[in-house]
Structure 1
């Protein structure tokens, strides 16, 4: 007997993806990816509950992927930090201080259509030393409410994500109506860009699994999913935002370096040339209040 929250796989897809049951009726089950941002419907007789041992086996694999992605980001962060410190010391003169500069990271607004994924992402932002305002909204609510949230939080980075999927039965990959939630992400991005048109002052990531990448970029997203219509991992948007947050405003983001930190890679993520959003200040004074000096230590 299936209940909401049960972990299941689909027989017709050879049990490839782990889902949790969101809702069901006598014939259909609505499914949400447990680790990826995919939403799907399946016949009741096509789903199979996952045993405890199978769940732990799958979770171990996902944990290894997440740990690897985190290690990549930490390596990149250390390189960025060393570069900042070198430039600060050479520009301001010799110093015995451990660090002679201070940094002001950008504000991040993360809007998510999945409350569990949102909590997971918030924990990762905090682990990476970033402050974020998280907001759960159903995807269909995002276009109407996103602008009010942006005006309230005044972020430099906006992440708009949740669940999505492409259905061949609804049309071709070029047709926006073939996607479960892409149109809501597109409308949300477009609504923001009508008031905040500068791509380097307000940076937007938008999309989820199999989302209509081209429409999201055309609407005004700096980074989006999914160029090859593949599934993306729940935490991939965080690494895009983090790379933006820890790259200086005087530098352009290396798109490949951003993408390689994600679990999905270039098939799941893409973007356009964008400046970083971290502001560096010199000199750092111990007597003054510390704006923000901690990062992904």
Structure 2
């Protein structure tokens, strides 16, 4: 009998309760322990774990997880703003002050416009919040990974971005071990096609800078399709490094 339910908030004992997850599915297997499918609450990560490795997180402990994540984000934002300010000071560029909620009063130059396509609306909201902290003009669209190739050209025409982000969820399909076959990935083929469509619209890699892929994507094929940057080398799970 499972004591966990879909929607419960949990952390993994084997990882020292490092990430807050939400239970999004429970896979029942006759005669075998259930597998719990997890989705990160703050971090873009999908994982699975045996039920015995999971600990429910009470509501009065949620603030600790959110506070820890917010501290990491604020530290990253401040570092980015500081580095950007140093760069623009070197070029004598025009500057303006950062938002009041970021301490230090670090000025920086104006960035290009971002169009962000995301297969996951919850993580898109997190990204849009961070763009706002950095005062980067960004348009976000929640579009499933499989629909992104069909939608990309019209969106590029409508918004004329300088930077295009194409992301969502990805990874090797269960039971497949051939890293070189794009068909063995959940979403890589869609990211590749979306990048190709974007490059048909704007071939110049300086006029449209493309970031594409997700955790464990076939990043070599995404780069070959025309992305300037791709995730994820060595098929690692992307996470914040501070």
Query: TM-score, with normalisation over the residues of structure 2?
Result: 0.77
Please name the residue that 1:205 is paired with: 211
Confirm whether residue 214 of structure 1 aligns to residue 220 of structure 2.
yes
Match in the other structure for 1:126: 132
1:179 aligned to which of 175, 182, 185: 185
| Other-structure match for 1:112 | 118
Give 1 or 2: higher strand fraction.
2
Could you tell me how far 1:73 is from its partner in structure 2? Answer: 0.3
Q: Does 1:82 align with 2:84?
A: no
Query: Structure 2 vs 1, CA of residues 213 and 54 (structure 1 numbering), >3 Å: closer, same or farther?
Result: farther
Q: How does 1:1-297 map to 2 (within 5 A)?
A: 2-10=4-12, 17-24=19-26, 26=28, 29-41=36-48, 47-52=54-59, 55-85=62-92, 105-166=111-172, 169-233=175-239, 263-264=240-241
Question: What are the Cα deviations for residues 154-177 of structure 1, in whole angstroms up to 9, with x where unaligned?
Answer: 111111112223357312222323
Q: CA deviation at 1:109?
A: 0.3
Task: Please give the alpha-carbon distance, in whole angstroms, between the structure 1 residues aligned to 2:80 and 2:208.
Answer: 22
Instruction: Tell me if the contact between 1:38 and 1:164 (Cα under 8 Å) persists in the aligned partners.
Output: no
**1:13-69: CA deviation from partner (whole Å, max 9, x where unpaired):** 775543223344656544322233222455667654333465444434333322221
Structure 1 Cα separation of the partners of residues 232 and 49 of structure 2: 22
8 Å contact 2:113–2:162 — kept in the other structure? yes
> Structure 1, residues 206-227: CA drift from partner, whole Å, max 9, x if none?
1121222211111111111111
Q: Which runs of 5+ in 1 are unaligned?
A: 89-102, 234-262, 266-297
Higher alpha-carbon deviation: 41-50 or 208-217? 41-50
Distance 1:179 1:41, change over 3 A: farther
Shift in CA distance, 147/174, structure 1 to aligned 2, threshold 3 Å: same
| Partner Cα distance (1:209, 1:36) in 2 | 11
Q: 1:29 to 1:150 in 2, by over 3 A?
A: farther
Q: Contact 2:19 / 2:65 at 8 angstroms: preserved in 1?
A: no
Check conservation: 2:36, 2:50, Cα contact below 8 A.
yes
Q: Which runs of 5+ in 2 are unaligned?
A: 29-33, 96-108
Q: Distance in 2 between matches of 1:48 and 1:167?
A: 27
Q: CA–CA distance in 1 between the matches of 2:133 and 2:79? A: 14
- State the distance in 2 between where 1:231 and 1:264 align: 12
Q: TM-score, normalised by structure 1?
A: 0.64
